Amino acid sequence: MPHKNLLIGITGSIAAKKTPDLIDLLKDNYNIKCIITYEGTNYIDKEYFKDIDTFYTWGEDRKKSTHIDLSRWADEFIIYPATSNIISKIAHGSGEDLLTTTILMFKGRLKIFPAMHEEMFNNNFNKVNLETIQVVHDVYGPEYGRLDAGDSGLGRLIEPANAFKILTDKNREKVFIISGSTKEYIDDVRFITNASSGKQGYALAIEASARGFDTTYISSAEPNQNTGFNYIDFDNTADLLSIVNEVDLSKGYLFMPAAISDFIPNKTDGKINRREGERVLKLSPNVDIIKTITSKNPKLIAIGFSAQLNMKGDRMKLDEKNLDYLVINDISNKETGFGSDFNEVSILNKKGEVKNIETSNKFVIAKKIMNYVFE
């Protein structure tokens, strides 16, 4: 079977130093050509690219239609790494050099791998640009990790091995994350809820997608950035039950840091008038969502989460809910947990072994949880 043609755009990020590692992984699967921007040449080993069909400009012969030829040659087209600058140019349809004009000519969906500092990634203009390009292209990453200038944050280029998995594995393992809180309505305008922010679930979604998993993020908390995963929102338990009944959860991994209400009120239609005086709110036990999921999907690897004041009864909870792992965080610590950017957890497995993870940024916690589960 003949190899497909892969065109790689390389832009001006220090992360461009990783591109040869990706090419080495891909060259047995694809015929490869590269376009390197002027800024990108500052970060690459030109000796390496002497053996690869590489383009920098249109060349001296301006009559050549290099951008047309390359766009029609390519079966697939990736940008690795993609700076905030190139993302802005793609979003605005700029065609000022060989790379951007080739992008405009290409009829397929680009696969774009961002790399930049966290402040740039979370910049409102960059967020709008990413939302714009995801209408017609696919974006993967970035991940949380070490950045330039000794910093760490959300902006690190997805590692070559994981980018290789995204590009070549048509049957990637599935990861599902259910996150956030539920709103259980008392009447049409009032509800009971809890303080879950969804931050730990978002960090898990970022980490899973960066590892190359086919990731679905189901959350009541809208993600700060939606790159590399499928996002489904919910409002209350009824919404969530409807979603989990529609999504194929028969295999893969489920991480469920969602704080689902333990009780639901008997809802009153309309709005309760305070002139009616004192009322007694009747609460009924809510359905156990994760137990419902695991009982129907025995091949699913389930990782539950429990926010509590101690570890009493955790082994019983793990067994009753058919969990493979239980992640416990101590809500008595006001510096971690709900609403905080930090967390401190313990992981209990079926053997009764406990792995303690010290206080860290929730993105670091997500990485360490997945290290324990997958490795």
* 4-168 and 174-374 have identical folds: yes
pTM beyond cutoff 0.85: yes
Query: pLDDT at position 59, please?
Result: 62
Query: pLDDT at position 309, please?
Result: 64
Instruction: Determine the average pLDDT of the residues in 166-177.
Output: 93
pLDDT tens digits, 29-38: 999 999 999 9
* Residue at token pair 């249109």: 58
Q: How confident is the model at residue 259 (pLDDT cuts 50, 70, 90)?
A: very high
Q: How confident is the model at residue 212 (pLDDT cuts 50, 70, 90)?
A: very high
Average pLDDT of the chain, as a whole number: 92
At residue 1, does pLDDT exceed 80?
Answer: no
- Pick left, alpha or beta for residue 212 (phi over 0 → left; psi -120 to 50 → alpha; otherwise beta): left
The helix-helix angle for 237-246 and 289-296 (nearest 10°) equals 10
Q: How confident is the model at residue 2 (pLDDT cuts 50, 70, 90)?
A: low
Query: How far from chain centre, in Å, is Cα 365?
Result: 15
At residue 204, does pLDDT exceed 70?
Answer: yes
187 SS3 class: coil
At residue 313, does pLDDT exceed 60?
Answer: no
Higher pLDDT: 171 or 61? It is: 171
- Interacting residues of 133 by C-beta distance below 8 A, sequence separation 6+: 87, 90, 91, 110, 112, 139
At residue 199, does pLDDT exceed 90?
Answer: yes
Start-to-end Cα distance in the chain? 34
At residue 61, does pLDDT exceed 60?
Answer: no
Q: Sketch the domain layout of the chain as residue ranges.
A: 4-168, 174-374
Instruction: Determine the average pLDDT of the residues in 124-144.
Output: 95
pLDDT tens digits, 73-117: 999 999 999 999 999 999 999 999 999 999 999 999 999 999 999
Written out in words, the top-level CATH class of the domain with range 174-374 is: alpha beta
Query: How far from chain centre, in Å, is Cα 339?
Result: 19
Q: How confident is the model at residue 310 (pLDDT cuts 50, 70, 90)?
A: low
Query: pLDDT at position 277, please?
Result: 85
pLDDT tens digits, 217-243: 999 988 887 788 999 999 999 999 999
Q: Provide DSSP, 251-291.
A: SSEEEE--B--SEEE-PPSS---GGG---PPPEEEPP-HHH
Return the closest-CA partner of residue 189 out of 304, 296, 268, 73.
268
State which fold the 4-168 domain adopts.
Rossmann fold (3.40.50)
